């Protein structure tokens, strides 16, 4: 499985050192962006992404939880984001927003919230390189994985296979509720990757923890 390592759980006073510690094995670094409206937190701006870009050549995965994604996506791509996730309900025209991400030179990714039907993601398979399935409510740190998440992963994997054939189409990654006791069920359901935070940074051996995730299934291109 792919590991898009969430920097929200890193030591924010030593962010560069946290990146250096796992850069050799992390598939990407996941950067949550909260504006206090779409998610009731304030977190990470373009300057942080620019600093990370100068620190690592790993894929930088920016997850926009903002009320004006069309404006902010350009700012973050200019700062060095390689992939930008947009929440469908935050955009007046989500397909147009995803197309704008691609036009700016980044990989478009759709965020699918816990309450949203998987059919919304299926309808946009052709416009995205990844579906980011939320395993918890957005902006809630340390929550338990939604019990329906594995089944939702299975439904997306099956729909992708029908649409594109085996091994093709957007990757399917789960964000939220990633714990030692939940990862296996997501891997068994066919998830291509997860967004681990404390699972990595609270581990006594973060590198070994990421390697364990890799061993749970094939590792496609992030």
Which residues are known to be catalytic? 32, 175
Q: Is residue 63 within 8 Å of 30, Cβ to Cβ?
A: yes
Q: Report CA torsion sign: 79, 67, 44, 211.
A: negative
Backbone angles phi, psi at 112, to 5 degrees: -115, 115
| Angle at the Cα of 14 from the Cα atoms of 205 and 78, rounded to 5 degrees | 110
Q: Is residue 71 within 8 Å of 100, Cβ to Cβ?
A: no
Pairing outcome for strands 42-43 and 28-35 = antiparallel
């Amino acid at each position: 499985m792919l590991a898009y390592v969430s920097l929200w759980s890193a030591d924010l006073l030593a962010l560069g050192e946290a990146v250096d510690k796992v850069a050799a094995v992390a598939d990407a670094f996941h950067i949550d962006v909260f504006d206090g409206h779409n998610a009731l937190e304030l977190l990470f701006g373009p300057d942080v992404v620019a600093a990370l870009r100068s620190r690592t050549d790993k894929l930088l995965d920016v997850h926009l939880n903002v009320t004006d994604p069309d404006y902010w996506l350009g700012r973050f791509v200019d700062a060095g984001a390689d992939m930008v996730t947009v929440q469908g309900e935050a955009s007046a025209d989500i397909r147009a927003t995803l197309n704008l991400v691609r036009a700016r030179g980044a990989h478009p990714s759709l965020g699918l919230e816990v309450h949203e039907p998987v059919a919304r993601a299926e309808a946009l398979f052709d416009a995205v390189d990844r579906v980011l399935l939320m395993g918890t409510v957005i902006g809630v740190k340390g929550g338990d994985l939604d019990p329906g998440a594995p089944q939702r992963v299975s439904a997306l994997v099956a729909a992708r296979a029908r649409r594109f054939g085996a091994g093709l189409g957007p990757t399917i990654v789960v964000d939220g509720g990633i714990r030692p006791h939940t990862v296996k069920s997501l891997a068994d359901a066919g998830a291509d990757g997860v967004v681990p935070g404390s699972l990595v940074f609270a581990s006594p051996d973060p590198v070994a923890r990421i390697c364990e995730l890799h061993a749970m299934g094939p590792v496609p291109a992030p």
